[in-house]
Amino acid sequence: MTRKAIKKDETMVFWRDPLDSDDIHVTRGVVHIIEERCKGCGYCIAYCPRKVLERSKDFNSNGYHPPTVKSEECLDCCYCQLLCPEFAIFTVEAT
Amino acid sequence: MKATAAKPLPHPMEDLIRMDRIPHIWCSGCGTGSVFMACLSAIKESGIPYNEFSMVSGIGCSGRGAGYINVDSFHTTHGRAIPFATGIKMAKPDLNVIVFSGDGDLFAIGGNHFIHAARRNMDITVICVNNLIYGMTGGQVAATTPHKAKSSTTAAGNPETPFNLPLLAYASGATFVARWTMLHSRDIADAVQMALNNKGFSFIEVLSPCPINYGRRNKEKALETLRLYHDNTIIKSNADLSELDIDFKRGVVLGNFINKEKPSHDEQYSKIYHAEAG
Ligand SMILES: Cc1ncc(C[n+]2csc(CCOP(=O)(O)OP(=O)(O)O)c2C)c(N)n1
Ligand code: SF4
Ligand code: SF4
Ligand code: SF4
Ligand SMILES: [Mg+2]
């Protein structure tokens, strides 16, 4: 895994949009979820800095509701990947 | 906007995990897996070949760590992870030896081993998953359970005072001392890398929820514990170690507190006993 640093403070909401945000290239990520492995703790959903994830209405064969992707705003920060206790979610840079 | 959900690929950490043992035993909402993951990412990012690592655990939920990592590892008897690690280090001084174990394992039954390995500045890295309880055996009081907290053996509240682990480690002679929570994945990974670079005894305490056997009795769901870790912690690496008692009302202090040079046990040992060979 390459290091795409996210500092602790960035896990909070962004207070304002930078003035030059239109000119800056923002890395985007594609989220991969291994649904069968998820135990539904909700860590990834609660701590994604961009609120990309939500609880799925569906459940896996153990009865847990995995996360599902609800927006295109993933920054590929890998925080969900690091936090998930089940190795059930990771991201790759969008091409 | 249309959301992108991709077809599952293998998880990027699978080369470091014994996939035939997954799913692991850790409960939903248990933080141990998050600490484990941060530790694996530090190993991966270090660039050190995997065959130059060895992981040792004692007994407990967190003690399962050694059984899930895909490097040479030992799941030892309760409390004895540090003596096993010491033996490995003495026999193979070039290995990076990591102990991954619980607060009960390392500080109750294994407490004496901890203080003596720190005193010797044994060149190993000890990661303690501190969930404030004996998780595996049903939530008995531990040497780390906060004063007044409920456990299965202190149903009306813990009358005792817990250890301040970073202070204990420092006073015993540890040369790298840190405390983080499982929410601070990057900081844990950085601390593990610093610990691997430290030629001496390194100790990293990581606070982690046990929602089943601690949270349930103390009216704290896993995500509520994580909220305390986020809102009621203070990062202060130059903190006075005597002020590191765990009290979320006052704020729990986190940081990389100590990182100092001192000859390690293997250096001192080979100077005296292998002098002619060197
Ligand atoms: C010699 C011995 N005494 C007692 C036990 C029972 N025992 C198993 S795990 C454990 C405590 C585990 O607590 P901790 O190290 O904090 O791990 P956790 O489960 O909380 O991760 C105890 C007392 C044992 N296995 N062996
Ligand atoms: S990598 Fe994960 S945590 Fe980071 S923005 Fe994307 S979905 Fe959210
Ligand atoms: S962190 Fe992992 S186990 Fe928890 S809900 Fe997200 S994907 Fe599932
Ligand atoms: S009992 Fe507690 S420490 Fe053990 S796996 Fe469950 S939540 Fe984790
Ligand atoms: Mg414990």
CATH (domain of B140): 3.40.50.970
Cβ distance of A64 and B23 shorter than 8 Å: no
CA A25 to centroid of ligand 1, rounded, Å: 50
Which of B33, B187, B223 minimises the CB distance to A42? B223
ipTM over 0.90? The verdict is yes
Residue contacts between A and B (CB atoms, under 8 Å): 105
Q: Residue A85 domain-assigned? A: yes
95 residues of chain A, pLDDT tens digit each: 445 544 444 445 556 777 777 777 889 999 999 999 999 999 999 999 999 999 999 999 999 999 999 999 999 999 999 999 999 999 999 98
Q: Residue B15 domain-assigned? A: no
Q: Residue A4 domain-assigned? A: no
Into how many domains does chain A fold? Answer: 1
pLDDT digit string, tens, across residues B2-57: 455 555 689 999 999 999 999 999 999 999 999 999 999 999 999 999 999 999 99
Into how many domains does chain B fold? Answer: 1
The ligand 2 atom at the shortest distance from the C-alpha of residue A6 is: 4
- Spatial contact of B201 and B178, defined as CB atoms under 8 Å apart: no
The secondary structure of B71-129, three-state, reads CEEEECCCCCHHHHHHHHHHHCCCCEEEEEEEHHHHHHHCHHHHHHHHHCCCCCEEEEE
Cβ distance of A69 and B3 shorter than 8 Å: yes
Q: Residue B16 domain-assigned? A: no
Q: Residue B158 domain-assigned? A: yes
pTM value? 0.93
Q: Which residues of B touch A46 (CB under 8 A)?
A: 223, 226
pLDDT digit string, tens, across residues B254-263: 999 999 999 9
Q: Residue A11 domain-assigned? A: no
Q: Using CA atoms, how far apart are residues B112 and B89, in angstroms rounded to an integer?
A: 18
CATH (domain of A64): 3.30.70.20
